[in-house]
Amino acid sequence: MIKLVVLGTSAALPTPTHNCTSFAVKYGGAYLFDACEGVQQQMMRFGVSMMKVNAVFLSHLHADHFLGLLGLLQSLNLQKRTDPLLIVGPTGTKKFLEALFATRILAPQFPVQIKEVARSGKVFENELFTVKAFSVKHAGHALGYSLETPSYRRFDKAKCDAAGVKGHLFTFLQEKGVCEVIDKKSGKRKRVKLADVTYVQQGKKIVYSGDTEPCAAVAKAAKGAELLIHEATFADDAKAIAKEKKHSTAGQAAAIAKKAGAKKLLLIHFSNRYENRGGLLLEAKKTFEQTELAQEGLELSI
């Protein structure tokens, strides 16, 4: 089960009760998507182990999305981390971070690999999932990310019962791809193939828009996703401002989720002008009912 923990929800300006946008995925380790200021404290508060962080995926190099990375690295230094850390970001990330790390007091005391993303495609892979990056429409080079688990075969109970597959034959079928059973009617042996009694279960997909104006690339990446996490900086009555600043409204985010056929939409990255974010939720629900507002500490199981 994939666990997603929201660490921050605000846009560029935090509020007394909301940090800037960041969240963690817990699945065979911990993986950060953007790093808000004070991200390590948010991780402590909401049960995400800093020492288990394997990678950080930065959507772009605006300060509200990366400032927490420096504090996190310093905290890891103090905890004597020795495991390597992967940092993924858009073109320019390597030069920028290496300049910061050249200052002795900011240098990580453990191996750090910096991977720049110049084009859309796979940027991370382990035995459990892959992460793909894609370009979105925001100031400078900005990225969205798609975390995807592989498809796998599941046994169809009705077909297994009808074919007489039971007990140790499940394991045998998985290992060999074919087995023999006794036909109930004829009493003769018959061959049963794995494909005869199974079906393909599609993997899970979680897509993060990063900061972006309404963008076809997000809809494409989020096609059929279990969860789309989409920025909703403004309400629909501020579309002109959203367009000027290359951001999205709540209604526009909902339209993307609907177009993509996503199962659920999580709105995030709210302007601090909205003390009460309920109106943003209502606007999105007019278009896409399965919408939820991100809030610090929210944990979703996917």
Say whether 64 is catalytic.
Answer: yes
Decide: 212 and 136 in contact? Cβ < 8 Å. yes
Decide: 119 and 84 in contact? Cβ < 8 Å. no
Residue 67 backbone dihedrals phi, psi, to 5 degrees: -55, -35
Distance CA 205, CA 148 (A): 4
Decide: 116 and 108 in contact? Cβ < 8 Å. no
DSSP 267: E
Distance CA 211, CA 59 (A): 7
Distance CA 242, CA 250 (A): 10
Distances (CA, A) of 206 to 24, 140, 285, 301: 12, 24, 20, 11
**Number of other CB atoms surrounding residue 44 within 10 Å:** 13
Distance CA 197, CA 79 (A): 51
Distance CA 94, CA 76 (A): 20
Look at residue 72 and give its three-state secondary structure.
helix
Q: Which of 64, 83, 156, 211 is catalytic?
A: 64
Place of tokens 């909205």: 274
Pairing state between β 30-33 and 121-125: unpaired
Look at residue 266 and give its three-state secondary structure.
strand
**Active-site residue list:** 64
